[in-house]
A = this chain, B = another copy of it.
Amino acid sequence: MHMKTGVEQSVYALVLLNMLPDKAVLSGEAISQQLGASATYFQKLLRKLVTADIITSVPGIKGGFKLKKRPEDIRVYDVYLAVEGQQSLYSSNGILVDMLDLEKEDSCCLLTNLMEEAESSWKAVLKRETIASLSEEMRGERFKDKIAALEEWVSNKMVI
Q: Which residues of chain A have a CB within 8 Å of any CB of chain B? A: 1-5, 7-9, 11-12, 15, 34-36, 76, 84, 87, 89-93, 95-96, 98-102, 108-111, 114-115, 117-119, 121-126, 128-129, 134, 137-138, 142-143, 146-147, 149-150
Query: With A36-B95, A102-B146 as given contacts, are A3 and B89 in contact (CB-CB < 8 Å)?
Result: yes
The 10 closest A-B pairs by CB, nearest first: A118-B125, A122-B122, A100-B146, A110-B134, A121-B121, A3-B90, A118-B122, A12-B95, A117-B125, A5-B93
Q: Mostly helix, strand, loop or mixed at chain A's interface?
A: helix
Q: What's the Cα separation between A1 and B147 when bound, in Å?
A: 32
Q: How many copies does the complex hold?
A: 2
Please indicate which of the listed interface residues A102, A109, A122 has the most CB atoms of chain B within 10 Å of its own CB: A122
- Which of B36, B91, B110 touches A138 (beta carbons < 8 Å)? B110
Contact indicator A15/B110 (Cβ below 8 Å): yes
A-B contact pairs, 26 of them (CB 8 A): A1-B89, A2-B87, A2-B90, A2-B91, A3-B90, A5-B93, A8-B90, A8-B109, A12-B95, A12-B96, A15-B110, A34-B99, A35-B99, A36-B95, A100-B146, A100-B147, A101-B146, A110-B138, A114-B126, A114-B129, A117-B125, A118-B123, A118-B125, A118-B126, A121-B124, A122-B122
Q: CB-nearest residue of chain B relative to A79?
A: B111
Q: Is the CB of B9 within 8 A of A149?
A: no
Query: Contacts of A134 on B, CB cut-off 8 Å?
Result: 110-111
Question: What CA separation (Å) do A8 and B9 show in the bound complex?
Answer: 31
Pick the contact of A121: B9, B87, B125 (CB < 8 A). Answer: B125
